[in-house]
Structure 1
Amino acid sequence: MSMELMVKAMKTKVGNPLRKLVLIKLADNASDQGECWPSYQHIADQCEISKRSVMLHVSNLEAQGLLKKETRKGGPKGNSSNLYYLTLTGAAYSLGVVQEIHQGSAAAAPGGSAGVAPRTSHSFEPITEPVEQTVAAAPSTKKKAAKFDPMTCKPANVSEQVWADWCQHRKEIRKPLTATTCAKQAKTLAGHHAPDAVINQSISNGWTGLFPEKVLPGAQQGQRRQSNEPDFDDSTWAEGLMVRT
C-alpha cells in the first residue's frame, strides 16, 4: 500500500463516487511506483459492487489518464489479473477538464449495486433539456355581458313614451344612457311636478342633461315638440291678432 498514492487518490476528482472508490482501492493495493494487479472480482468484493461495474470504472479511469492497464496472459485458466500503473503523480484532474466517457450505466450491470449512485456528466457537449409541452388553455366559458337597455331603468314618475323618446335622443347625439346616468336622472326627476316636461324641454333644445329648475311650477306635462312645428309664444299670437284686425 502506498500512502502517498492513497492521499492523491482521495484528492483526485473523477466525477463518480463509485469510480473514486475503485481508484482508492487500486491505490491501496499499489506499490510506491504505482503498480498493482488486483483482479476485477477482488475489487468488486472490496467495493461491494458488481464485477461489471468495476470493469466499466477501470475503463473510464484509463480514459481519463489516471491509470494504464496492461492485460496479462497466463494462469491456470489462460488469463490472470491485469497489471495497473497508477499515474496520479502530478495529476490534477478536475471536473469539467476531462470529458467523461459514457460506456453504459452501472445500474444495468447484473448483480451490481452501483445503480443507487447518481451518474454525473462533465462533458462540454450541450445538454438538450426536454421541452415541456404547453397545454392549450380551455376556451373561456364566460358569457358576454348583455347590452344595457335604458328602458329597464325608466323612472316611475315618467311616462313610457317620453322616456323612450329621451333614450332615442341620447342615442342620436351619441350619448347613450348608462345605468349610472339613469339612476342619477331618476333621482333628479324624483318629486318633480312635471318630469315629462323636463325631458321634452331637453329633447327640444338638444341637451344631454335634465334641468328641472327651468320648468316653472304649474307647467303641464307635454309631448315632445317636433322640429318642424313653429315655435309660437304669446307675443307672436298677439301680433297675429293685430294683423287680422
Structure 2
Amino acid sequence: GRPLRPGVLNKSRSVSEMTTALQLSKQFTQLFVGEDDLCDPELEECATSEELTSYEGFERFTLLIGIILTFLGYVPGILFLYPIWYGLPVASREKIKTDHAPYLYAWAWMAASHFLFIIPWTWAWFMLFFSSPPYEGARFSFYKFWLQNLIAPGLLWLVVLTEIAWIAVIVLEFNNEDDVFLVVYPAIIAGIYLLTAPTTVALIISDWPKAIMYFDELEREAHEEEKKMADGPQIIGQDDIIPENPDQ
C-alpha cells in the first residue's frame, strides 16, 4: 500500500501515546477509587460496585501511608534548606543565628527529626511496594521493625514535641521582631503543622498493621482467622433448614 504521510504518522503516534498514558493513569487511580468508579456508563457496561477485599484494602492503605510519610519526612528539610535558610542573604542568616536562635533550632529540630525518624522506613517501603513477592529477608524485617517499634508508637510524640517547639518559639520571640524575623512565621508553621500532622498520626495509630499484613501472608491469614473467631459461629435457625425431600 501507499506509505502514510508524515502528518498521519504523527497523529497515529500521538493517539497511541495518549492511549498508553490514559491506561497508566487509570491503573494508578484504581488503587484509590476502584475500577467501578472509573467506569463511564455512557461508553461501556459498568459492573456493580463490590466491597473491597482485605488484600485490596491493605494495598491502598500501604500506598497511602507510604506517600504521606514520604512527604512528612522530606518536606520540612527541603523547606528549611530553601527558602528558609539558603534563600536568605548571609547577613540575614547570621542575624537569625545570633538574635533568633530558638527559631533556627525549631527548624533544625523539625527537619532533622522527621528525616531521621521517617525516611529510613520510606526507603524500605519504596523498595518493597514497587517490587514483586515474596516479601522476606532483611529488607522486610527492617520495614516491619521500624514501623512496628518506632513509627507506630513514636510518631505521636514526634508530632507533639515539634508542635511544642514551635509554640515555644512564638512565646520566646513574641517581642523580638525585626527586619529578618516576624513572630507570624512560627505561628503559620505551627498552624499548618497542627492541621496536617495529627491526621497522619491518627491514620498510622489506627491501622498501621495493615501495612504489614499487605506484605506478610501469614499475618493476613492470622488476621482473617481472628475476624472469623470474632464473628462467632453462624447460628442456623429452624427456618434455614432445607428438608431433604420437600415434596413429602
Return the structure number with greater relative CO, CA threshold 8 A, min gap 6.
2
Same fold? TM cut 0.5: no
Larger strand proportion of the pair: 1
Place the TM-score, normalised by the shorter chain, in its bin.
under 0.3
Task: Give TM-score, length-normalised by structure 1.
Answer: 0.22
